[in-house]
Amino acid sequence: MNDINNIMINLYILVVLTIIAIALAVIVTIMLEKRDKKK
């Protein structure tokens, strides 16, 4: 049971980090697009 719990926690952390990375990429892309439109 302990091993399964550890694997689930690791998967959860990986998913959260992936979501955060995607969110940051989207935010940066939107900011760059807005900056380009101002020029």
> Is 8 part of a structural domain of the chain?
yes
* Full DSSP string of 3-32: HHHHHHHHHHHHHHHHHHHHHHHHHHHHHH
Render pLDDT for 5-34 as a digit per residue (tens, 0 to 9).
999 999 999 999 999 999 999 999 999 999
One-letter amino acid identity for 1? M
pLDDT at 36: 87
- The structure's pTM equals 0.68
pLDDT at 37: 83
Provide the domain count of the chain.
Answer: 1
Kindly tell me the sign of the dihedral angle through the C-alpha atoms of 10, 14, 15, 17: positive
Show the tokens assigned to 24.
């940051």
Angstrom distance (rounded) from CA 9 to CA 26 = 26
Q: Which domain holds residue 26?
A: 1-34
- Confidence at residue 30, expressed as pLDDT on a 0 to 100 scale: 96
| pLDDT greater than 90 at residue 1 | no
The pLDDT value recorded for residue 39 is 65
Q: Does 2 have pLDDT greater than 90?
A: no
Indicate whether 39 belongs to any domain: no
